[in-house]
């Protein structure tokens, strides 16, 4: 078993080393499927998703799949995001994680974007035809994580990505992989690394890329052909995350926990960013958190910063269904400042069985 872990770790380190400095701000805007970078979960977004080292359970499938391995038994989460207030866009997500045996955990998660109804326009009717359509953007992932000696967890996610409108579609397969290491006298030191969104190119196809044109015959102007355009493919927004977390326990029976986190993200199609945060937990029943994320590529006040830089915060309530029971019901909420628009609100409901 240890040999398998060493081989897997060596593989991850090789991949991470080759991609850690692959980013280039000059490539910004060349990737697509940026919904893969949207986080619908309320608990992790309270810290801007900078929880590579400490994230646990179903939410880990979005940030670092290795954290799924610390699921106690069964976890079910549903969440909704009021994304960038003023855009009328919503994110809906559902996930479930189930322990298999002593050390393995399997999970499934799905996220869909609700754009609402959009008017259909044409070159002849730019103000609208009177009909509407709704884009369909969703992705579904299957994850597996394994914990070695209750200290080292490795995990991977295979995710199907789909984007479609009424007359054109695109799809791809993405891979996430990660590792978490726990040490310290009270397992209070945590280190995490994850590599996300490595996969095939996406390319649109469908009737929306076809049009009717005249045949290239000057003697037969009435003869028309259905002409199909060949669109260019685009890459997925891959990124590398490296995180650190340190827990400080206080009070009788360590009822009070104060966690400090730090995180660095290297984006292959944009500038890198980093940030830090803190979370307070009382008996793991009540938690409040706050974080700050910065982008060193935009320190100039005249530059247009990414939408999510600055403060974030959240709160969680996680209570047992009855005294002494390990079955818990949790409610999570988070807010992230954004510029422009009026920030994003995330709410979630979780069941730990």
- How much is the pLDDT for 323? 82
**Which helix or strand (DSSP H or E) is residue 19 part of?**
helix 2-19
- pTM reported for the whole predicted model: 0.87
Q: In a 3-state reduction of DSSP, which class is residue 231?
A: coil
Q: Taking every pair of C-alpha atoms in the chain, what is the biggest distance, in angstroms?
A: 93
Distance CA 102, CA 94 (A): 25
Give the range of the structural domain holding residue 222, as residue numbers without chain letter: 2-352
Query: Using the 8-state DSSP alphabet, how is residue 7 labeled?
Result: H
CATH number of 155's domain: 2.40.160.40
Q: Do the bridges between strand 136-148 and strand 273-282 make them parallel or antiparallel, or are there none, so unpaired?
A: unpaired
Q: Please check whether residue 185 is in contact with residue 201, taking contact to mean a CB–CB distance below 8 angstroms.
A: no
Q: 117-161: per-residue pLDDT in tens?
A: 888 888 888 888 888 888 999 999 999 999 998 899 999 999 999
Number of domains in the chain: 1
Binned at pLDDT 50, 70 and 90, residue 270 comes out as: confident
pLDDT at 266 over 70: yes
Continuous H helices in the chain? 2-19, 42-45, 60-63
In tens, the pLDDT along 279-325 reads: 999 999 999 999 999 887 655 555 566 788 889 999 999 999 888 78
**Residue written as token pair 């996969």:** 199
- Tokens at residue 141, please? 């992932």
């Amino acid at each position: 078993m240890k040999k398998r872990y060493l081989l897997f770790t060596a593989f991850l380190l090789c991949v991470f080393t080759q991609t850690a400095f692959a980013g280039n701000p000059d490539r910004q805007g060349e990737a697509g499927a940026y919904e893969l970078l949207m986080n619908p979960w309320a608990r992790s977004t309270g810290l801007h998703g900078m929880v590579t080292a400490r994230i646990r359970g179903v939410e880990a499938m979005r940030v670092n799949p290795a954290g799924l391995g610390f699921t106690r038994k069964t976890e079910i989460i549903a969440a909704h995001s009021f994304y960038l207030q003023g855009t009328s866009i919503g994110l809906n997500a559902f996930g479930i994680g189930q322990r298999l045996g002593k050390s393995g955990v399997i999970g499934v998660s799905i996220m869909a974007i609700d754009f609402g109804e959009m008017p259909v326009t044409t070159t002849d009717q730019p103000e609208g035809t009177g009909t509407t359509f709704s884009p369909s953007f969703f992705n579904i992932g299957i994850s597996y994580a394994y914990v070695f000696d209750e200290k080292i967890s490795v995990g991977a996610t295979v995710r199907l990505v789909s984007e479609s409108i009424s007359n054109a579609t695109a799809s791809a397969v993405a891979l996430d992989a990660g590792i978490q290491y726990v040490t310290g006298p009270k397992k209070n030191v945590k280190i995490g690394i994850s590599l996300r969104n490595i996969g095939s190119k996406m390319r649109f196809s469908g009737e929306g890329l076809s049009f009717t044109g005249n045949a290239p015959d000057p003697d037969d102007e009435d003869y028309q052909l259905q002409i199909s355009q060949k669109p260019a493919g685009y890459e997925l927004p891959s990124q590398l995350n490296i995180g650190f977390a340190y827990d400080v326990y206080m009070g009788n029976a360590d009822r009070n926990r104060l966690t400090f986190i730090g995180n660095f993200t290297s984006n292959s199609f944009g500038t890198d960013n980093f940030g830090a945060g803190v979370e307070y937990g009382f008996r793991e029943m009540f938690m409040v958190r706050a974080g700050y994320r910065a982008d060193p590529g935009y320190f100039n006040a005249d530059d247009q910063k990414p939408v999510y830089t600055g403060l974030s915060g959240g709160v969680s309530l996680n209570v047992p269904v009855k005294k002494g029971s390990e079955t818990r019901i949790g409610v999570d909420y988070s807010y992230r400042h954004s510029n422009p628009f009026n920030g994003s609100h995330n709410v979630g409901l979780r069941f730990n069985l």
